[in-house]
Structure 1
Amino acid sequence: MPVADAEVDVVIVGGGPVGLTARALLERWGVRTLLVEKHRELSPFPRSRLVNARSMEIFRQLGVDAEIAAGSFAPKFGRVRFRDTLYDSDFATAAMVGVNAPIPESPVIGVVTSQDRLEPTLLAAVDGEMRFGVELVDLAEEPESVTAVLLDHRRGEETRVRARYVLAADGANSTIRRRLGIETDGPGAMAGFTTVVFDADLGRWCAEQPAGVYFTAHGAIAPLYPEGGWAWLGPTPDDTGTPDTDWPQLVSRALGPVPGVRADVLRVQHWTMNAFVAERLRHGRILLAGDAAHAIPVFGGMGMNTGVADAHNLCWKLAGVLHRWAGPGVLDTYEAERLPVAHLTLRQAVDNTRLAISVQSRRREQLQAGEVMASDRVELPWAERYFAQLGLVFGVAYRSDAVLSDAVLSDGDCSDGDAAPEPSDVGADYVPTAEPGHRMPHLWLTPGRSTLDTFGEWFTLLTADPTPWEQQSAAPWPLRIERLTDGHRDVWGLPPYGALLIRPDGHVGARWHDRPPNGHTLRDALGAITRTTYPS
């Protein structure tokens, strides 16, 4: 066994939003982490532009949602517009449901913001160690740990860190995924794209019709920050890399004949839009999350948000194993729960990406041929439901051994989670439900306090009749019991003596329709969910 220079609980590889979220969640659980990022600083490029309502709920749990919202665009920017050029009028528009206005399904709304605005907030959320300019170059798995070989590019030095687990959040081109030989499913590289960050005085042309992104026939135009800054995003031109590439002219084509406006190009980044899902998310003590696990095309803004949900699902399970109130088998439920969601999200994103690229291309060809098409005859560059994603954001249910179905509990046997089929295409509609496996619905318990605010670094039991549950021991599991009023209980169809056991990630782990049938009901359920047992 190689000698380690340091030891931690979890090494996180990759300092994007997913790695930073995992770091914050684990540190709040009291898990010692080391996050390494091969670049010397956080990315200066805007990258992801949308934080959906589910991610904001997770950031609310971390206490940073208000700060994120304060640096984001106003809700009226939660809309997309489709035009021939920025200068032209809309011929199609759609609101981003859950972003453009408050919704009854959540205590928060999503925001339009840039990744380079989000990441510093997540970095400052906790004091866990982070090393920039440090790359993981080798891994050695052992029965009880993983030794990571880290190269500090600034110092030219290698160090070895022993960790109980490694979380790979190192992007679509994940070095760790490739080193482990984990294959991927999906279309793969769909197209080469370029992001051009530029300054221009466009406020007066967009103030009356704000949007998070303007799709044009010559690429997308997006405002970056409330105080200014813009980005152009589109297919990489064939002549890219030659000295003759005229980026200001390329951007100007998308802007159109805006009088007196010139694009001052600041930065240019080329990237590949990938579309795939890893065949598996776990290799022993190494787990994949975010783009390393699934590369989701940017159209619709689901990629980063899917990764944040990965971290939320995984981190309480890692904490339980490390603190010994969960068995190692609970980590198998991470893949069982998140892999179907990744496939579902990828299918929707790929379909809409292909449609958007196709429609933009045809529109550009029509304009070049001098054809003018009436707005009511223009094919929209997205499926009708694409920007009404609450079903996908809130409605996906987990089916794994970490969810106890009503049928299992009625048999009085918590030994098997009775896994159900993978989730189907949930589409746009979201119907709140407290069925096991689903995200617990939001409901205001008191002014300003949601049911979601009762969840955290613990399990939560929601019931209108706490007494019989309080008499049961839940040790060693962290548990809080929350009293419900009859009105709250009726909303979810919960009988007077029933109870809901909520996992730390806010998903319903178990549901009882009556008082606990015996003195160890709660311990049996917690043990089954966490894949461990303790003497009653």
Structure 2
Amino acid sequence: MPGADVEVPVLIVGGGPVGLTARALLDRWGVPNLLVEKHRELSPFPRSRLVNVRSMEIFRQLGIAARIAADAFAPEYGRVRFRDTLYDPDFATAAMAGVHAPVPESPVVGTLTSQDRLEPILLAAAGGDVRFGAELVDLEEEPEGVLALVADRERGTRTRVRARYVLAADGANSTVRERLGIGTTGPGALGSFTTVVFDADLAHWCADQPAGVYFTAFGTFTPLYPDGGWAWFGATPGDAEHADWSGLVSRALGPGADVRADVVRVQHWSMSASVAERFARGRVLLAGDAAHAVPPIGGLGMNVGVADAHNLCWKLAGVLQGWAEPALLETYETERLPVALETLRQAVGNTQLLVQVQKLRNEHLRSGASASTPVELPWSERYFAQLGLVLGVAYHSGAVLTDHTGPPDSSGTEYVPTARPGHRMPHRWLGPDRSTLDACGEWFTLLTPDPARWEQQDTACWPLRVGILPGEHAGPDRLSPHGGALLVRPDGHIAARWDEPPSNGTTLRHALTALTSHAPAG
């Protein structure tokens, strides 16, 4: 390809929640970027709905968590219910951990909101150039950047974009991943499904027992917005082109419901389960579904993609702004690929649990038990026991200085707060509505009970803020020993920990040099 028509530090491919989150984070860092999205507008489909506590913590950092919550369902909808048909009573139910009610481990509560209401908020969270109807059709790496060819799908024109880096968030069928020749591992396609968005008055069966998801023997029902609307999804029928979707959904509600579904729109999609073999090649980095396609059961897919962007964008900013070397970007794959594999394992496990629930129900009914007798769920009340996966992610890479206690723990299923390097900074209240997580931002944060001993360190080459860690959070088994400190990365993960005050004036300089692979001159 010849020279470029547009030059930009970062080209973001894909305008879903992950690409839009990356755009907002880079904007906060002051990194100019261009986002291209092949569709002509944001998706009108509800799609992903669960915004978990970790994503809400990230959105709190972006200043948009309150607005997201204002458009979302009330906390009592943070529950799943199992029924034979929608009009039957529950035979089982479970709360969504961190959504149905606050958890002491976070300053925020997860929420249920449809993706078509989330995306406009993300879009408005940043300025910068966004081009809808613009599809990336080719790219080629150069010594100092990537030259991408972007086609305007309406006008037929083509634009050459030169970017220092490309962040590909263009979905499970990623064009960028295909162009790079990166394969995937995992089960792959799990089946074809259809989502039908419809209007119907279902208050008689749901108003007194709200839920974010109703699993039935005839498909899954979800309320879409606090002010109305529903979606049904299930296996795509054989003759989908000629299907009577209104009749299908009405029948799926159950014989005796006597409710007509007024269909608004229909979307066919493939459920996939795979992880890219690599998350980066040269100056092109994959995030979200382009890096990992996760089944929707448990609401993990979009959220793990948002965390991808949070991990990656501060590293891109460091390299582009000169306080980190490109080697820092290598830690993105090192840190996030294991998380994607564990998330996929958990999501597939969630799907298997649902199958197990239906099997238990069928056995229950065949045994002659009453239909009103509850079925004991094959998991704990903490919905799919995944809070450990959401908040307990631990990194082991060159961007973490491990301490003498060894590598970080795996996340497991239950979350146990810890101040060990590699883990997310534990939440503690520093004041009214101010969490330790709020101290993190577009900078490294040093939290210590004795800031005077650390403020004399030579750290001018890096963005760093020193914060006071109140005495009640220091000491044995707390966040930091008296006189010691925690160094927290911009993504809220602990980069280093010291049990004692600095022995000399270069302690922090040496740590930041190692973490960012950058040794300042002089």
TM-score, normalisation: structure 1: 0.93
**CA–CA distance in structure 1, aligned partners of residues 151 and 368 of structure 2:** 57
Q: Is the 8 A contact 2:92 2:376 kept in 1?
A: no
Residue 309 of structure 1 pairs with residue 307 of structure 2: yes
Residue 101 and residue 366 in structure 1: after superposition, are their counterparts in 2 closer, same or farther (change >3 A)?
Answer: closer
Q: Is the 8 A contact 2:87 2:254 kept in 1?
A: yes
SS in 1 for 2:351: helix
Which residue matches 1:94? 94
SS in 1 for 2:240: coil
SS in 1 for 2:205: helix
SS in 1 for 2:496: strand
After TM superposition, list the pairs within 5 Å mapping 1:88-487 onto structure 2: 88-241=88-241, 243=242, 245-257=243-255, 259-357=257-355, 359-360=357-358, 374=371, 378=375, 380=377, 386-407=383-404, 420=407, 424=410, 426-427=412-413, 429-487=414-472
SS in 2 for 1:515: coil
Give the alignment partner of residue 505 of structure 1, picking from 478, 482, 491.
491
**CA–CA distance in structure 2, aligned partners of residues 129 and 519 of structure 1:** 43
**CA–CA distance in structure 1, aligned partners of residues 379 and 340 of structure 2:** 20
Amino acid at match of 2:396: R
**CA–CA distance in structure 1, aligned partners of residues 106 and 177 of structure 2:** 35
Amino acid at match of 2:510: D
SS in 2 for 1:345: helix
Which residue matches 1:525? 511
Q: How far 1:205 sits from its partner (Å)?
A: 2.2
Report sequence identity in percent. Answer: 69
Q: Is the 8 A contact 2:314 2:491 kept in 1?
A: yes
Which residue matches 2:481? 495
After TM superposition, list the pairs within 5 Å mapping 1:3-152 onto structure 2: 3-152=3-152
Aligned residues between the structures: 521
Residue 476 and residue 385 in structure 1: after superposition, are their counterparts in 2 closer, same or farther (change >3 A)?
Answer: same
**CA–CA distance in structure 1, aligned partners of residues 438 and 353 of structure 2:** 39
**CA–CA distance in structure 2, aligned partners of residues 263 and 362 of structure 1:** 30
In terms of mean alpha carbon deviation, does 252-261 or 214-223 score higher?
252-261
Amino acid at match of 1:339: L
**CA–CA distance in structure 2, aligned partners of residues 307 and 286 of structure 1:** 16
SS in 1 for 2:249: helix
Residue 7 and residue 462 in structure 1: after superposition, are their counterparts in 2 closer, same or farther (change >3 A)?
Answer: same
Which residue matches 1:411? none
Q: How far 1:161 sits from its partner (Å)?
A: 0.7
Amino acid at match of 2:459: A
Q: Is the 8 A contact 1:357 1:381 kept in 2?
A: no
Q: Is the 8 A contact 1:7 1:161 kept in 2?
A: yes
Q: Is the 8 A contact 2:97 2:383 kept in 1?
A: no
In terms of mean alpha carbon deviation, does 201-210 or 312-321 score higher?
201-210
Amino acid at match of 1:471: Q
Q: Is the 8 A contact 2:45 2:116 kept in 1?
A: yes
**CA–CA distance in structure 2, aligned partners of residues 382 and 275 of structure 1:** 22
Which residue matches 2:520? 534
Amino acid at match of 2:385: A
**CA–CA distance in structure 2, aligned partners of residues 252 and 268 of structure 1:** 15
SS in 1 for 2:232: strand
SS in 1 for 2:347: helix
Amino acid at match of 1:486: G
1:54-106 Cα offsets, whole Å, 9 max, x none, are 00000000000000000000000000000001100000000001000111111
SS in 2 for 1:167: strand
SS in 2 for 1:150: strand
Amino acid at match of 2:458: S
Q: How far 1:365 sits from its partner (Å)?
A: 10
Q: Is the 8 A contact 1:150 1:161 kept in 2?
A: yes
TM-score, normalisation: structure 2: 0.96
Residue 160 and residue 532 in structure 1: after superposition, are their counterparts in 2 closer, same or farther (change >3 A)?
Answer: same
Q: How far 1:357 sits from its partner (Å)?
A: 4.0
Q: Which runs of 5+ in 1 are unaligned?
A: 409-417
Which residue matches 1:415? none
**CA–CA distance in structure 2, aligned partners of residues 366 and 299 of structure 1:** 23
Q: How far 1:506 sits from its partner (Å)?
A: 0.2
SS in 2 for 1:191: strand
Q: Which runs of 5+ in 2 are unaligned?
A: none
Q: Is the 8 A contact 1:360 1:381 kept in 2?
A: no
Amino acid at match of 2:389: L
Which residue matches 1:413? none
Q: Is the 8 A contact 1:200 1:261 kept in 2?
A: yes
